[in-house]
Structure 1
Amino acid sequence: MLSPLEVYAGSRRLPIGGPRQRAILSILLINRNQISSVEEIIDKVWHGVPPSTGRTQVAICVAALRKTFRTAGCDEDVIVTVAPGYMLSTRGHRVDAEDFLERVAQAEALDREGQPERAAQVFEGALQLWRGTPLGGINVRMVEDAAVRLIEMQMSAVEKYMALRLQLGEYQALIGDLTALVQAHPLRDRLRGLLMMAQYRAGRRADALATYHDGRRHSIEELGLDMVAPLQSLHEAILREDEIALTDAGWSPRRAAAVVPAQLPSNVFAFSGRLDELRTLDSVLDQPPQGNHPVRVSFITGSPGIGKTSLAIHWAHQRAEEFPDGHLFADLGAHGYAREPESPESVLRRFLTALGHRPEQIPTGLAEATALYRTTLEGRRALIVLDDVHSFGQIRPLLPGNGQCHVLVTSRNQLEGLSDNYNALRLQLGILPLSASTAILRDVVGRDRITSNPQAARRLSELCGNLPIAVRVAAARLLGKPHWRVSDLVARLEDRDRRLDELSHGEYDIRLRFETSWRQLDPSVATAYSRLALLDEPHFDAWCAAKATELRVVEAQDLLERLVDLHLLDVVGRGEAGRFAYGFQDLLLLYARERVGRETTVATSCA
């Protein structure tokens, strides 16, 4: 019935005969399992003007239909004679219209039970039963009226199915389907409203407003009426981007279950120093969040091992209670030793799962997943920590769309897009003060061992370059060697050729940290960097660098600034001629010299 009339025995389609047989069978199907009088059949088939042979013709058509069914293998009569007419019995047979209604009822029950994913699947199966115009091509008013009722049931199911898909976050995929439906049914307000919501949720606000105005034009031209009140309210809510109004009006999809993720790694043990940096990060939260304000972003950058991740995690734990809707954390792996940087798609899937979405709910497309992520976080106050980022493009889809959330980013790279697009706070870390380095040693190793020889503790911090990761490696080595005095480790580190070996143990492998930054360099830049490391001056300017690298001064200046951007050199001031002075951190200098075979003679002198 959900197509031009068809009858099948198994997979074999049966011939039904001419228009009159098809009309009579359609009437019996509409009244299935009920008696249709011969007079009613005659009246419907001949539109109230029957021939004198009408009763005989009906009997001949019924007999032909029975023969068709028996030939197909039906032992019992499908059409039985019951005074004052005939009845089509569906016992032991299937009618697609009945299957459709049963599946729709099942889908509606699943939705009421809070199973929208399963409900959408059952709705989809129900709608797949349709193969064309129901009972099409039969010129009988009763059949045409039944077809209209079936089409209305179909459209009602379509609207419910589309609403469920909207609820499940399939915004981008829905737009094409809903656009075609609205074009075919321009006066169905529910479809138009769903299309507007899908467009708005997919970030196409202008399209949503255009869809409203197109519907208003149709309504005025064809009906002489303005848009219905619910669509007017939806239009106004989209104009204002008013999430509360969208929810109250019933158009906004239900959120995922209120899951509060808590993904922050454990707080950093023996964290010391960075008080100014912590206060700077605090300042970003001083102004109260505004729902429509751009998302707030803080960006921590600096050289390998400088403590970017430690600072981010420590601050996040300090302010965690201010983000009651959850804490998300991702290591993007820009400088991972054994893996490629994480893709935004994989991080989005983890975040959406942590926020309560089932894996099958999450769209596979990046744009659709991003839209669902931002919708889920809309109105929520969450903290997102994105660690070891490679590029702005890697994290752009991971940035929420509202100022209620706060994003904390760490990277060795510049990530210019953060400042250009989000006015991010930029915090560049330097080495620790000596007091903070010795405080870490004291907290990890124990007060007695450190304070018993404070001069050795200070010298140990200096030999670590006051680089946080190196200080922690030294502390871990002392902790694992309780029979060592601090001076024993100092003696080992005094040997410049062994220092990186002594400070490259376990997960705190300093040499590997430097190696990942080295791999980013073009071969020509890496060669020039090594030559700079062989200079006999601790600080040098572009003129001196040009001499060492055999570049023009302007080229040497560009090289130096590129190395500064990569945090492989520091700007240490200006020289006597007003030129910038550059220098290496101590351990980076050792590593750069190691790359050229630990040469003991300098490449050049600036004298």
Structure 2
Amino acid sequence: MGTRFVFSMLGPLEVRAGEAETRTENAVAVNGQRQRTVLAVLLLAPGRVVSVESLVSAVWEGTPPATGRTQIAICVAGLRKAFRAAGCADDVIITSSPGYKLLADDHVIDAVRFEQECAAAEQAAREGRTEQAAAGVRAALALWRGQVLAGISGQVVESEAARLEELRLTATERLAALRLELGQHRELIGELTALVRDHPLREQARVQLMLAQYRCGRRAEALETFRAGRRQFIDEFGTEPGPALQGLHRAILNDDADLALTEAAPPRREPVARGVPAQLPASCARFTGRATELSTLDGLLDGSGPAVAFVTGAAGIGKTELALRWGRRVAERFPDGQLFVDLRGYDRDAEPAGPQEALAGFLRAYGVAEAQIPADPGERSALYRSLLDGKRTLVVLDNASSFAQVRPLLPGSGDNVVLVTGRDQIGELIGGHCALRLRLTALSQAESVALLGATDAAAAGRLSELCGGLPLALSVAAARVEAKPHWSLVRLARLAEDEDRRLDEFGVRASFDASYRRLSPATATLYARLGVLDVPDFAAWVGAAVLDCGLEEAESLAEELVDSQLLEVSSAADGSTRYHFQPLLRCHAREKAGRTESSTACRRAFDAWVALAAVAVDHQPRAVPSGLDPRELVGDPVTWFETERASVLAAIEQALRMGLVLQALDLATAAWRLGHREADAVLPTASIERRRITTLMGELAS
């Protein structure tokens, strides 16, 4: 192997050769901003392939030169040379299509070590080793040297920096909780005061400061800390603080004996139930609209309807944020607590969470000692149901991908309410448990502009169109402009006009990929081929055409895409089913089709439209893919063309752009003959092109 490297990201980027533990490292020079950015992006995905396109985007932020790919290769070559010069005999960065991979197993990355040490400390805490747990978290926090990757900008870096900063704050709060258990409240007051000053909306830190103040005999200060926080929550959000803060406030007013802990008292070795669990995570995501959906969820509160709701929709549509907003809004209606678990059903970098893991967390939240949690899955689920029996608890099961994940987590009785979010259809919830199904759709134009919070109405309107009303994309767009004061919505909209860049600009590719990876090969092929068509909507027979398969098979595969939230469905005026893409999903689908596959799919679709148009105009059937019956598909010609009108006109324009003049001319002629004069706009162009081609063919023949 040779030299071992220590990569430091929790501060300015540094690379050192040697053992981190002995502090005998020698700095490895990483020269130039581009080289540093390339290394940073590779370090953020250790052991995973990063595409050249992603590296180009990270380095040039939307304006890459024509030589961008070549310059990335030069940067990687420079990094390899530096690593070899530092004594590393083996490759650290390897080429792996479609990009590069950093092999991190034999090296140290401080961000990875930070998360590992936090996880080890949490395990020690669960086992009652409180002092060891506190030491572990303290060691993890000691790895931080400043702002993550300070001096390196870009969407990828900024997003990961925000995630790591959130983990740092969470670890800081966890260390404070452990030290409170150890009776170190006097030493904590100064640190917690600074933490609350810098992050006034973090309720956990405020709770810990109030508790430390109370235990030091500073009851009035603890009550003032609550009042200051309450004022800020009301001013910022128009809401009261959460249950944990309010519960501690009441306990302090009543001088609750459970709050007392003298410095001489031994630390607790097992978790003890204190008040009620309040596990709904904080969120700073942007949110607007959804008034109808929130009102629908309010119907769960009166006990007359279902006690389970399933919030579903496409990736990035805002399912989790809706669940959290509603949960925090009605938290006081659940006096026995709010439970939350991310089941990771679509997480690319982690296995889905098993229900037994989630059950163990819920039981610990209610004070069940680790040793008392049953190992048997059935007994564990039964204990959970027993604890919730007779209670009124809100249970949020986020990112569920199957009923198997959800079933053991459903309470058996009581006035409990369960909110499940997920992309895939979970029929057992709807049928067997009579769950309320709430499908989220894209935001309206006005809601999208409001979410962007911009004063430039024209640019905001265009950005909202490019985002297709998808809250995740809109939030990323707004955050990018806020993070770069010298940018404008106009500039971001101009960058996003390039369809090849749009998914990167709006940060949605990873979410879409998570859904795409779950498709069967045939369904994935249909998804990609439909994505290359520039038509507003289409019938199932278009899927049969691009796949060259039967209508029944195409309908079945299209419905799988609908169930996976990758394709949307609507009804035409004649009652027939039409399918269409959310705009960003169309870009994603198009990426998945190769150039040859795209051309073939378009030709097949255009040929099918031409064949059906011939039936509509002349009642003369032509060959249609896979033996489809054209007379059956067309039915009444006028009705058929009225339904297909917008798509036929879009197909004409796309065929002309692709040089498929004959198909464009046949479709335009049919549209014109049926009275759709919009085709006049393309007919002259098609006719000129046809005459030019005929002339050239004559010249070649002679």
Sort the TM-score into its range (normalised by shorter chain).
Answer: 0.5 to 0.7
Gaps of 5+ in 2: 1-271, 611-702
Cα deviation, residue 545, structure 1 = 1.6
Please tell me whether the aligned partners of residues 268 and 310 of structure 1 are also in contact (alpha carbons under 8 angstroms). no
Secondary structure of 1:567's partner?
coil
Q: State which of 282, 287, 290 in structure 1 corresponds to 2:298.
A: 282
Q: State which of 360, 365, 377 in structure 2 corresponds to 1:349.
A: 360
Aligned residue identity for 1:583 = H
- Which deviations, in whole Å up to 9, do the C-alpha atoms of 1:242-296 show, x marking residues without a partner? xxxxxxxxxxxxxx8564111001145431010000011001213369xxxxx71
Q: Greater Rg, structure 1 or structure 2?
A: 1
Give distance in 1, aligned partners of 2:384 and 2:303.
Answer: 25
Please tell me whether the aligned partners of residues 434 and 461 of structure 1 are also in contact (alpha carbons under 8 angstroms). yes
Give distance in 1, aligned partners of 2:557 and 2:372.
Answer: 48
Q: State which of 312, 316, 325 in structure 2 corresponds to 1:305.
A: 316
Give distance in 1, aligned partners of 2:371 and 2:595.
Answer: 55
Cα deviation, residue 537, structure 1 = 2.1
Within 5 Å, give how 1:301-450 maps onto structure 2.
Answer: 301-442=312-453, 450=454
Secondary structure of 1:352's partner?
helix
Q: Cα 1:347–1:478, aligned 2, differ >3 Å: closer, same or farther?
A: same
Within 5 Å, give how 1:469-548 maps onto structure 2.
Answer: 469-504=472-507, 510-548=508-546
Aligned residue identity for 1:362 = I
Give distance in 1, aligned partners of 2:541 and 2:384.
Answer: 51
Please tell me whether the aligned partners of residues 285 and 321 of structure 2 are also in contact (alpha carbons under 8 angstroms). no
Say yes or no: does 1:261 pair with 2:258. no
Give distance in 1, aligned partners of 2:567 and 2:367.
Answer: 44
Give distance in 1, aligned partners of 2:547 and 2:285.
Answer: 43
TM-score computed with the length of structure 1 as normaliser: 0.53
Secondary structure of 1:539's partner?
coil
Please tell me whether the aligned partners of residues 344 and 397 of structure 1 are also in contact (alpha carbons under 8 angstroms). yes
Give distance in 2, aligned partners of 1:549 and 1:535.
Answer: 13
Please tell me whether the aligned partners of residues 512 and 588 of structure 2 are also in contact (alpha carbons under 8 angstroms). yes
Within 5 Å, give how 1:118-267 maps onto structure 2.
Answer: 257=273, 259-267=275-283
Cα deviation, residue 573, structure 1 = 2.0
Gaps of 5+ in 1: 1-255, 290-294, 443-449, 505-509
Give distance in 1, aligned partners of 2:304 and 2:275.
Answer: 24
- Which deviations, in whole Å up to 9, do the C-alpha atoms of 1:410-432 show, x marking residues without a partner? 01011111122211100001001
Secondary structure of 2:446's partner?
helix
Cα deviation, residue 302, structure 1 = 0.5
Please tell me whether the aligned partners of residues 388 and 414 of structure 2 are also in contact (alpha carbons under 8 angstroms). no
Aligned residue identity for 1:378 = D
- Which deviations, in whole Å up to 9, do the C-alpha atoms of 1:447-493 show, x marking residues without a partner? xxx21x21111111111111000001101110111011211111111
Within 5 Å, give how 1:106-121 maps onto structure 2.
Answer: none
Please tell me whether the aligned partners of residues 533 and 592 of structure 1 are also in contact (alpha carbons under 8 angstroms). yes
Please tell me whether the aligned partners of residues 344 and 394 of structure 1 are also in contact (alpha carbons under 8 angstroms). yes
Higher RCO, 1 vs 2 (CA within 8 Å, ≥6 residues apart): 1
Secondary structure of 2:437's partner?
strand
Give distance in 1, aligned partners of 2:303 and 2:552.
Answer: 43
- Which deviations, in whole Å up to 9, do the C-alpha atoms of 1:8-62 show, x marking residues without a partner? xxxxxxxxxxxxxxxxxxxxxxxxxxxxxxxxxxxxxxxxxxxxxxxxxxxxxxx
Secondary structure of 2:360's partner?
helix
Give distance in 1, aligned partners of 2:544 and 2:286.
Answer: 43
Give distance in 1, aligned partners of 2:429 and 2:285.
Answer: 30
**Number of aligned positions between the proteins:** 336
Aligned residue identity for 2:287 = F
Please tell me whether the aligned partners of residues 532 and 593 of structure 2 are also in contact (alpha carbons under 8 angstroms). no
Please tell me whether the aligned partners of residues 345 and 352 of structure 2 are also in contact (alpha carbons under 8 angstroms). yes
Q: Which residue of 1 aligns with 2:568?
A: 570
Q: Which residue of 1 aligns with 2:67?
A: none
Cα deviation, residue 575, structure 1 = 6.3
Aligned residue identity for 1:592 = A
Say yes or no: does 1:554 pair with 2:552. yes
Q: Which residue of 2 aligns with 1:209?
A: none
Q: Cα 1:543–1:561, aligned 2, differ >3 Å: closer, same or farther?
A: same
Aligned residue identity for 2:299 = S
Secondary structure of 1:379's partner?
coil
Aligned residue identity for 2:434 = N
**What is the aligned-residue identity percentage?**
47
Give distance in 2, aligned partners of 1:300 and 1:365.
Answer: 30
Please tell me whether the aligned partners of residues 515 and 564 of structure 2 are also in contact (alpha carbons under 8 angstroms). yes
Cα deviation, residue 380, structure 1 = 1.0
Q: Which residue of 1 aligns with 2:288?
A: 272
Cα deviation, residue 535, structure 1 = 2.2
TM-score computed with the length of structure 2 as normaliser: 0.46
Give distance in 2, aligned partners of 1:466 and 1:543.
Answer: 28
Q: Cα 1:420–1:572, aligned 2, differ >3 Å: closer, same or farther?
A: closer
